[in-house]
Amino acid sequence: MSKEKLVLIGNGMAGVRTLEELLKLAPEHYEVTVFGAEPYGNYNRILLSPVLAGEKTIEEIMLNDDQWYADNHITLYKGKKVVEVNRARREVIAADGTVTKYDRLLFATGSNPFIIPVPGHELPGVVSFRDIYDVDAMLAASKQHRHAVVIGGGLLGLEAANGLLKQGMDVTVVHLLDTLMERQLDKPAATLLKSSLEQRGLKFLMEAQTAAILGDDRVRGVRFKDGSEVEADLVVMAVGIRPNIELAKKIGLHCERGVIVNDTMQTFDPRVYAVGECVQHRGTSYGLVAPLFEQAKVCANHLAGFGYARYQGSVTSTKLKVTGIDLFSAGEFGGGEGCEDVVYKDPGHGVYKKLVLKDNKIHGAVLYGDTVDGAWYFQLMRDGTDVSDIRDGLLFGQAHLGDSGHGGQNAVAAMADNAEICGCNGVCKGTIVKAITSKGLFTLDDVRAHTKASASCGSCTGLVEQILANTVGDYSTSSKEKPMCGCTDHTHEQVRKAIQSQRLTSIRAVMDFCEWHSADGCAKCRPALNFYLIAAWPGDVKDDYQSRFINERAHANIQKDGTYSVVPRIWGGVTNAAELRAIADVADKYKVPTVKITGGQRIDLLGVKKEDLPRMWGDLNKAGFVSGHAYGKSLRTVKTCVGSEWCRFGTQDSTGLGIKIEKMTWGSWTPHKFKIAVSGCPRNCAEATIKDYGVVCVDSGYELHVGGNGGVKVRATDLLCKVETEEQVMEYCGAFMQVYREEAQYLERTAPWIERVGLSYVKQRVVEDAAGRAALYQRFLESQQHAQVDPWAERAEQGVDQHEFVPLKHVV
Amino acid sequence: MTVSSTATVIAMKQWLEVGKLEDIPALGARVVRTPRGDVAVFRANDDHIFALDDRCPHKGGPLSQGIVFDHKVACPLHNWCIELQTGCAVAPDEGHTGSYPVKVEQGVVYLQLPAAPAAR
Ligand code: SRM
Ligand SMILES: Cc1cc2nc3c(=O)[nH]c(=O)nc-3n(C[C@H](O)[C@H](O)[C@H](O)COP(=O)(O)OP(=O)(O)OC[C@H]3O[C@@H](n4cnc5c(N)ncnc54)[C@H](O)[C@@H]3O)c2cc1C
Ligand code: SF4
Ligand code: FES
């Protein structure tokens, strides 16, 4: 069968990215031909700024060289501009007469820089800032001439001006308005930016309207409306871009400002697709790479014949690539009706931060001088998180929501290549940079996949994002809704809703209803689906053990050498001589190499062979123990202190209460692990204020605390409320666990969940709505009826899942 | 290191009966203990059977304990994905673990092991 023919017009960032995505999905589907007006392979256009500034070379910014096209059997016509398309005959015609047939055509012609049509705009020495040709022209001019004028004080203009300054020129930036980068910055931030650029030696002419460019055979100056003039040997026009739709219009494709496409990136001619800056989607054209790459992904999906991806628009954020200047901007920072500005200003340190809030949500952000939290604000903005509960500390950044336990470093540019970035996987800065440049990585997910940096506990994510931005420019992701995983387009919430409303009761049914793209799902979505099902229909759904991570499947923690650890439940941390003797006997009998007191007030038997597990559990069962679920996304421990029974400060029976709570909650499955503690007085010896649910006894009753976390990022709890009786402590506990279980995303602990939904919401559900609380508590108790079965006993005595523990065969 | 003898041993390839298909859970695996180490026998959802050394190319994790999906397994220790057919790590990870011929006849699973213990 002969292959279908795909022709790409425009060898730029969006078009070639589409081909890369397509090659991943359907490498054999098309015979591909690419026409590029520029005489180069595909390069990273956004890095032209560092090239101009002398920080990078052209070789360093090449993304795909000729070899790549050859390796992938793509015909590349460099330096050939397409001038005509015959849609009836499905032919593309280049300026030199080359004719190529197509079955599918992809338009990715980018934008044209806008040139103000003043007299003299065609003089030699007047350039735009768009491609390698322009950069070469500027570099050449900088070697021979002295005076440069950049018209346009936006992102591109300032990056051009900075580059020319670095090349030794005397540079004046001319701007029509009275603030720089008015589309990204408000006045105070723009003022800080301007003075910092002035300190570097840039000159500014604000509120200056260009009237003419002067000169005879080459530019020699610029004249303004008011009659004044400045000297210039080079004039860079950086006043904006227009989608390049000349060819599309000529061949009759429906265009407005850009080529009109639908959510599948298809134009009005079904054989013709378009991506990139030339496109207009739902009324918007984008001039940043992140959204274009999302378009590329969707387009490739349809070209490959998969037919399910949709592009739904993007939210974007901006940074300025001038080394040493930190600036971040996103959303509607200008404010307006119903908006409030929250501002932090420290001119002495050159720091300015403004968040625009509307209905308690972040609508826009401008950061200058300290941009570490840009990604976090952007995330809150895209998720539409209600920030009223964290408003007080919002401007101080994410680290101040609690004390971030780990890391704390944030200036990655200054770090040495051998500085360790990811402590979990031992990945250094140099390794990450090398992977990014040699493998052509663009996104955080790419870097995680290739280097494992930030792929484990995630606390170094911010650093990795910075390295990425410093190396390839800023491609912060921007899709509006994040699907559960690569197997589906649906979010966690959508899937849970479907499970409820359609009464789906098996993983297969969910995958069918939600149109999963993969046959079996993957190691990410299957455990999540299994949890959502048992949480929604306790007792009715069969727990799918093949969709559980090995620890939960084998009811023990796998160790690095393939052995397991066994942690029996020790209620509230209280034990006795008989129990300890039984543990000692078991340790002897099964030759357990390590016996350790855990951080959760119980005993860990480490290094047990898998085959021995059921018998060992049987012996522990006989001594009265059940599984401690130290392996599960489930209730772990209830830590207690000695309390009023012994302690001279104890106000209530914290030990007894802890045991009661553990008896009620053990065995429950939760989105992530769940830890509880009860302290007998505010001295808090059981560390209740870093637990998912913490109880601090006081003379008049019990303080209930929620959302604490002692792990990767330490977060102290929020006070939920105060209650008077033990019964209330139990009821609030069950109700809290149940909302968390019903609504949090799989693998989201209570700390990030509360930061996402807001403490007020949790209070409303658990404290204020008494009937709602009672119902939640009831549902919790109901599901416990099915969950409180000791998995060890089932396996030790009833022979459940024997295949897990015995080899299929012994070959000698 | 010892130098092995130059005499060639022509070993008859033998199919070894290791158990019944139904003894292996769909989307799961069982282990066959052999003198050359553990071999993991996987059963995909479509009842295809695969056999790999039970050692992840990354740090030796027991692949038999991983989550199986499509014709792949995710290692239980650090989540690398391994192709069941070839034993190769799914890109961008790189590495390979040994694979063995397997077949199912009338519900019985047969495995073919090389004659000599693997040199390790
Ligand atoms: C055994 C124990 C360490 C010890 O020797 O004391 C332990 C061992 C492990 N912890 Fe832990 N944690 C243990 C108490 C803790 C504590 C202290 C506590 O509970 O008071 C914390 C901090 C408190 C908290 O969770 O907020 C803790 C925070 C973590 C984290 C980080 C969680 C986070 O949200 O940031 C992980 C990683 C994870 O769960 O993804 C983790 C993961 C692990 C795992 C399961 C790693 C793994 O996936 O293999 C370790 C299993 C070892 C094993 O096979 O037994 N362990 N771990 C402790 C068991 C307590 C128990 O009796 O069940
Ligand atoms: C100096 C600079 C700095 C930037 N910095 C950033 C940044 O920090 N972050 C960010 O996200 N974005 C940045 N951008 C924007 C980003 O580079 C663009 O959004 C992106 O390159 C657009 O991709 P595209 O494929 O749509 O267009 P392009 O990359 O421009 O590709 C279009 C290609 O099509 C070719 N072409 C056009 N018509 C024809 C024809 N008829 N026949 C054949 N070929 C044709 C053009 O020659 C061009 O090579 C920057 C841009 C510039 C110029
Ligand atoms: S027990 Fe916890 S802290 Fe210790 S190495 Fe394992 S995960 Fe890390
Ligand atoms: S040992 Fe398998 S992923 Fe690390």
In a domain, A699, yes or no: yes
pLDDT in tens, B69-116: 999 999 999 999 999 999 999 988 899 999 999 999 999 999 998 865
In a domain, B95, yes or no: yes
In a domain, A810, yes or no: no
In a domain, A138, yes or no: yes
Please tell me whether the peptide bond between B62 and the residue prior to it is cis, using omega within 30 degrees of 0. Answer: no
Q: Which of B26, B67, B77 lies nearest to residue A523, judging by beta carbons?
A: B67
Q: Which of A439, A520, A562 lies nearest to residue B62, judging by beta carbons?
A: A562
Contact predicate A437/A384, CB 8 Å: no
The Å distance, Cα A112 to ligand 2 centre, comes to 9
Contact predicate A406/A423, CB 8 Å: yes
With bands split at pLDDT 50, 70 and 90, how would you rate the model's confidence at B7?
A: very low
In a domain, A794, yes or no: no
How many separate helices (H) and strands (E) can be counted in chain B?
0, 10
A777 and A652 in a common domain: yes
Q: Tell me how many domains chain B contains.
A: 1
Domain boundary residue among A548, A565, A593? Answer: A548
Alpha helices (H) along A698-790: 726-743, 750-757, 759-763, 770-787
Distance (Å) from the alpha carbon of B8 to chain A's nearest alpha carbon: 23
pTM of the model: 0.75
Residue A414 CA to its chain's centroid (Å) = 24
In a domain, B62, yes or no: yes
With bands split at pLDDT 50, 70 and 90, how would you rate the model's confidence at B118?
A: very low
CATH number at A332 reads: 3.30.390.30
A374 and A458 in a common domain: yes
pLDDT in tens, A403-436: 443 344 455 666 778 777 777 777 888 899 888 8
CATH number at A76 reads: 3.50.50.60
In a domain, B31, yes or no: yes
**Closest residue by Cα to residue A777 from A744, A733, A725, A743:** A733
**What is the C-alpha separation between A406 and A622, in angstroms, rounded?**
42
Contacts of A488 (CB under 8 A, 6+ apart): A495, A514, A515, A516, A517, A525
pLDDT of res. A209:
95
In a domain, B117, yes or no: no
Mutate to test the pocket of ligand 2, among A19, A44, A277, A293 (most ligand atoms within 8 A of CB): A277
A368 and A232 in a common domain: no
Q: Tell me how many domains chain A contains.
A: 6
In a domain, A811, yes or no: no
Would you say the ipTM is above 0.85?
no
The number of CA neighbours under 13 Å toward the Cβ of A171 is 29
pLDDT in tens, A50-66: 899 998 899 988 889 99
pLDDT of res. A605:
97
Distance (Å) from the alpha carbon of B27 to chain A's nearest alpha carbon: 6
The range of the structural domain enclosing residue B25 comes to 4-112
A392 and A329 in a common domain: yes
CATH number at A714 reads: 3.30.413.10
Q: Using alpha carbons, list the distances in angstroms from residue A793 to A52, A630, A732.
A: 70, 16, 30
In a domain, B118, yes or no: no
In a domain, B105, yes or no: yes
A459 and A415 in a common domain: yes
**What is the C-alpha separation between A377 and A353, in angstroms, rounded?**
11
Q: Which of residues 93-112 of B touch A (CB under 8 A)?
A: none
In a domain, A254, yes or no: yes
The range of the structural domain enclosing residue A725 comes to 635-783
Nearest bound ligand to the CA of residue A604: 1
Q: How many CB atoms lie within 10 A of CB A496?
A: 23
A558 and A540 in a common domain: no
A248 and A101 in a common domain: yes
Q: Which of B18, B26, B70 lies nearest to residue A809, judging by beta carbons?
A: B18
**Closest residue by Cα to residue B74 from A156, A558, A570, A493:** A558
A772 and A653 in a common domain: yes
Q: Which residues of chain A have pLDDT under 50?
A: 402-409
In a domain, B120, yes or no: no
In a domain, A798, yes or no: no
- The pLDDT mean for chain B works out to 86
Domain boundary residue among A434, A449, A478? Answer: A478
Residue A474 CA to its chain's centroid (Å) = 13
pLDDT in tens, A71-129: 999 999 999 999 999 999 999 999 999 999 999 999 999 999 999 999 999 999 999 99
Tell me if chain A has a CB within 8 Å of the CB of B114. Answer: no
The Å distance, Cα A12 to ligand 2 centre, comes to 6
In a domain, B70, yes or no: yes
Tell me if chain B has a CB within 8 Å of the CB of A799. Answer: no
Three-state secondary-structure class, residue B50:
strand
A717 and A655 in a common domain: yes
Joined together, the tokens standing for residue A681 give 């007085």
Query: Which strand (E) or helix (H) includes residue A422?
Result: strand A420-422
A778 and A669 in a common domain: yes
- CB < 8 Å to A550, chain B: 65-67, 76
Tell me if chain B has a CB within 8 Å of the CB of A232. Answer: no
CATH number at B108 reads: 2.102.10.10
A562 and A469 in a common domain: no
**What is the C-alpha separation between A555 and A534, in angstroms, rounded?**
17
pLDDT in tens, A733-788: 999 999 999 999 999 999 999 988 989 999 999 999 999 999 999 999 999 999 99
